[in-house]
Chains A and B, each alone.
Chain A
Amino acid sequence: MLQFKIVGVVFLLVLSTVLTAQNTQSVAIKKGAYVPLYGTTDKKPVEVKAFNMDVFPITNAQFVVFLKKYPQYSRSNIKGLFAEKSYLSQWKSDYDYGTTNLSNAPVTNVSWFVAKKYCECQGKRLPSMDEWEYVAMADEKRIDARTKEEFNKYILSWYEKPKTYTNPVGKTFKNYWGVYDMHGLVWEWTSDFNSIFLSGESRKDKDTDKNLFCGSGSINASDLMNYAAFMRYGFRASLKANYATKNLGFRCAKDLK
């Protein structure tokens, strides 16, 4: 019986280390509905089920641990189908992010394929675009701060700041859900980034687009909001799954059990 207990305790200890070693802290996001700024023709609210979201983007240090465990995704082993040449190009070598990159800075220059794999190997997944946008519309106090001028100004001023991707995670604001860095640090992969139609027909859905380009004199909060979202969706639409760029990182999400 004692033996049984010891084995059990040891097992639990080992298990908890295995589970927490690489697992970033995550928080529960309550279910809700929101109207995406792009992608729906009817402007009906989209349901988002309750799920868990990582509090921070994945860091360089966490990514090294992953690569050592799964060397097939290292810089010299990765296949071209899964990541282009710029994959982790800012690192010193396969398993060394060097001295110019902070250990707790978000890992960037990572392709969608590898980001997806990373999350799967933690028993997680990439958040969907709707989940990501749903969490990202919160400021410190509100679930949906998208119409607030200050909030939009903050986002847009980040878009103008160079090289924020070299900053450590967790230094931007903590939002309503307890999640950091949705704005102000890096762009992030979503599981269904390739579900955007900005060119062609769907462009017409958004009558406000012309205001963005025709230099109308009256820029109001809703213009700022649309502009910020337009940047985000436009950026995603320009991506391919093997792209690796220096301002693009990721975080993981998980279904609620």
Chain B
Amino acid sequence: MKKLIIGMILLFSTLQSCNTKVDAQVSSKSKNISELSIYNLPSKWTNQNGQNIEMMDLKGKVLVMVMIYTSCKSACPRLVADMRNIESRLSENIKGKVKLVLVSIDPEVDTPERLKAFSIENKMETDQWIFLRSTEENTREFAAVLAVNYKKISPLDFSHSNIISVFNAEGELAYQQEGLGVNSDETIQKITEEAVKLN
């Protein structure tokens, strides 16, 4: 009898699960989050060191974000080069305020181990660099926020938008650089502006 009741309660609680996630998020950390902040997204991620993080853990830093996949042969190497170029041009006094984040659009293939190997291959090993992957659904949602479109076009390949996004310390979109190998002056200026505010 007890078991039956417990079973019923469990069943009901799973039916309500779409709500609990949101409630937990509202109650805990989100009090000071602005309307347009990406930290309104409660999604969970894993980094290149296999650690689980929430986007929220990055709050307070200026973020430079791009979506890629590691088996990509065409556009991503250039996007990655653009990211490295941006990083190298940041002045020393703001580097501690900035994180460069590469989010995988291919979570199935891009395991934390693979992301780690990719970071080593591409000399992105300092703690300035964060590689993230999540579920396919969280990734799709995150891409929607970044206005990044992507589509699997073959077992190993994706089409995707080439957009580098800058978020301020509050998680609000501050700037987007679109295209490959474009001039990053404005992006760097925007990153610097946002980072200096934190000094």
Contact = CB atoms under 8 A, between A and B. Distances in A.
A41, A113, A194: residue with the most chain B Cβ atoms closer than 10 Å: A194
Interface in B1-19: 1, 4-5, 8, 11-12, 15, 18-19
A81 B38 CA distance: 7
B49 interface: no
Contact of B40 (A3, A4, A79, A241): A79
Nearest to A117: B18
A72 interface: yes
Interface in B155-189: 159
A9 interface: no
Given A112-B144, A241-B144, A123 B15 contact: yes
A96 interface: no
Interface string A214-256: 0000000000000000000000010011000000000000000
B149 interface: yes
A173 B41 CA distance: 39
Contacts of B86: none
A82 interface: yes
Interface in A152-178: none
Contacts of B22: 70, 72
Contact of A194 (B1, B12, B144): B144
Given A8-B4, A11-B8, A41-B153, A194 B19 contact: no
A192 B150 CA distance: 9
Interface string A35-46: 000011100000
Interface stretch (A53-61, A100-108, A135-143, A195-203): A195-203
A81 B140 contact: no
A74 interface: no
Interface in A22-45: 39-41
A116 B149 CA distance: 17
A241 to B, nearest CB: 4
A15 interface: yes
The residue in B12, B140, B149 that gathers the most chain A C-beta atoms within 10 A of its C-beta is: B149
A23 to B, nearest CB: 11
B23 to A, nearest CB: 9
Contacts of A72: 22, 26
B108 interface: no
A194 B148 contact: yes
Interface string A4-16: 1001100100010
B198 interface: no
Nearest to A18: B15
A190 B40 CA distance: 22
B92 interface: no
A113 B149 contact: no
A52 interface: no
A79 B151 contact: no
B72 interface: no
Interface string A88-127: 0000000000000000000000001100110011010000
A40 B153 contact: yes
A192 B151 contact: yes
Given A196-B151, A241-B144, A121 B19 contact: yes
Interface string B15-42: 1001100100010000000011110110
A194 B5 contact: no
20 contacts: A3-B1, A4-B4, A7-B1, A39-B151, A70-B22, A72-B22, A72-B26, A79-B36, A79-B40, A80-B35, A81-B145, A117-B18, A123-B18, A192-B151, A194-B143, A194-B147, A194-B150, A196-B151, A197-B159, A237-B149
Interface of A: 3-4, 7-8, 11, 15, 18-19, 39-41, 69-70, 72, 79-82, 112-113, 116-117, 120-121, 123, 191-192, 194-197, 202, 237, 240-241
Interface of B: 1, 4-5, 8, 11-12, 15, 18-19, 22, 26, 35-38, 40-41, 140-141, 143-145, 147-151, 153, 159
